[in-house]
Chain A
Amino acid sequence: MRHVTRFFRELDHVGDLAIEVNARSRAELFAHALVALARLMVAQRGIRTVGRRELECAADDDFTLMHDALSRALNLFLIDGFIWRRVTVEEKGRGLAIILFGEQYDRTRHELLGEIKGVTFHRLFVGQEHGGWRAEIVFDV
């Protein structure tokens, strides 16, 4: 395993791209996962936090919630070209209120690191461990 950062690291996966995310709380786990997604796609330096996008997500379980939150954010990038560097997440009932801070992707200013095509349910894990929160996510690339 490599690419250890404070809150996520890349895991071995032959076909696709897998990460482990850690956090102190559930809301922070989702925020970290969303930042990790952006960091895997575009180099963070040079992304200005001059714009924001708001998402509200709700689901019956944390697995589906993680899948849906990441998928919706991914589509913000893939469809609207919005890339973010900072994320806030607040618990809202059974769901989450998410704000992504960033700007429009610009090929001339931003360094593309790789394309992520989808968020999968493959090996998806979201749960509490050792007093903190942990997620494992596999992206289709």
Chain B
Amino acid sequence: MELKHIRDYLWEIPRHGAMRVPGRIYASKSMLDELRNDPALNQVENVACLPGIVGYSLAMPDIHWGYGFPIGGVAAIDAEHGVISPGGVGYDINCGVRLVRTRLRRADIEQDIERLADRLFETIPAGVGSHGAIPSLGITELKKVVRDGVGWAVANGYAQPADVERIEEGGRLASADPEAVSGQAYQRGQKQLGTLGSGNHFLECGEVDQIYRPDEAGALGLELGQVTVLIHTGSRGLGHQTCDDYLKVIDKAADRYGIRLPDRQLAAAPIQSPEGQAYLAAMAAAANFAWCNRQMITHLAEQAFMQALHLGPRELGFALVYDVCHNIAKFEEHLVDGAQTRLCVHRKGATRAFGPGHPALARSLRPLGQPVLIPGDMGRYSFVLIGLEHAMRETFGSTCHGAGRVLSRHQAKKAARGRDLVAELARAGVVIRATSRATIAEEMPMAYKNVADVVEVMEAAAVSRKVARLKPFAVIKG
């Protein structure tokens, strides 16, 4: 594959064959060397063939192979004449991350960490078979959740109205249609509101251990030594079922509309077609469920902190810093060839990173730019970044989303044989609670790239920059 060096940390796959635009990859030289024979680069080429794609088929430094689209891929598609592809969103619709700050300092709770981890693990249902600590909702109520997103949590006393402006899109896509979601998807979601899920999903208590930009950190209420809570989860079974339901619909529609693509998993339908509109309405509903799910987990985490540490809400000071999604397709305005154009931006394993002044940001965040939350592996650290103006010109306001795996799950399990990972993490200052030892093995730190390398690339490319680093000390996993 021909790869042109554009400048430091940016490489281009020149347009050829059926590609409608070139591909562009943000990576260091060493990352690129590892990627050269990776099928994820072919997926960048394939995405470039989608009807209506503008600019570039983009790949972030945490790129790896996904279904149709690579994970870490961004594709901006003309909203009037282009297509929507469920593969460009993924199974876990609106998988995302939120960060909560507290008034606590790590040093003050050193003796209580084990108890806190136990309480969080008991309070927040995690893996398969777990039911929400929130009472199981009937279908009528669940339809309100997928229609209103975090608005449902506010209306039912699980969130403050002020939380809404600290969530991407205000925690709700208005285009959601509850009737576009299947009965089976509702059945899967019915007992899962306020549940974490398994795999790479987690709740992580951390400490702000490094501040890179004091002004920006201060504006976000972050300071050294402060205890934070990072929550990574998505739309659970409801989102998975919705993706599965519509993959078939869109696959058939692609044939009907004569959309020929190099990979069947890229199946796409015109955005303006009935099938495209139905998928978008269902995807928005699943996205709203995911935002509400992260909100409910926040509520449960607050209860667990108060019980474990015998604190009241004021002393604890739980406050949402921000909530981002990294698997979604949304309509946004961007400059294309000098003209403001409405685009459907697919971000799959990529995070919105709007720069300062963007009207989509709440007034309080507008001078700053959008906070971006990048989780790392459970043994090292996670990052808080801020979106930069340059991102609007280069990446449709997008940046990376995480560390990216380097070991398959069973390679990780093999590497974990004979090791006591719980004890190893404890020695590194991390208490872990998980429903299965297999999950701990699969998610061991060495299974992931060093997330610091990933965020450095995006900073060097002037797309986003580091504000603070969070060091985990207690991790809850499904």
Contact = CB atoms under 8 A, between A and B. Distances in A.
A75 interface: yes
A6 interface: no
A107 interface: yes
Interface bin, chain A: 20 to 34
Nearest to B199: A141
A68 B38 CA distance: 30
A117 B264 contact: no
B409 A17 contact: yes
B1 to A, nearest CB: 19
B128 interface: yes
A41 B241 CA distance: 18
B92 interface: yes
Interface stretch (A30-38, A47-55, A87-95, A108-116): A108-116
A115 B188 contact: no
B199 A122 contact: no
Interface string A3-47: 100000010111111000000000000000000000001000000
B408 A114 contact: no
A113 B264 contact: no
B436 A79 contact: no
B471 to A, nearest CB: 26
Contacts of A16: 409
B180 to A, nearest CB: 19
B410 A118 contact: no
B31 interface: no
Contacts of A78: 128, 188, 237
Contacts, number: 84
Nearest to A77: B128
Interface string B431-473: 0000110110010000000000000000000000000000000
A17 B412 CA distance: 12
A41 B265 contact: no
Given A105-B129, A117-B92, A14 B407 contact: yes
Given A3-B410, A79-B184, A115-B127, A15 B64 contact: yes
Interface of A: 2-3, 10, 12-17, 41, 71, 75, 78-79, 81, 105, 107, 112-115, 117-122, 140-141
Given A71-B244, A114-B438, A115-B197, 14 more contacts: A2-B414, A14-B405, A14-B406, A15-B66, A15-B405, A79-B237, A81-B129, A114-B439, A118-B241, A118-B244, A140-B91, A140-B92, A140-B240, A141-B409
Interface of B: 64-67, 71, 91-92, 127-129, 184, 187-188, 197-199, 237, 240-241, 243-244, 247, 264-265, 405-411, 414, 435-436, 438-439, 442, 478
8 contacts: A12-B411, A14-B407, A75-B187, A112-B128, A115-B478, A117-B92, A120-B67, A121-B264
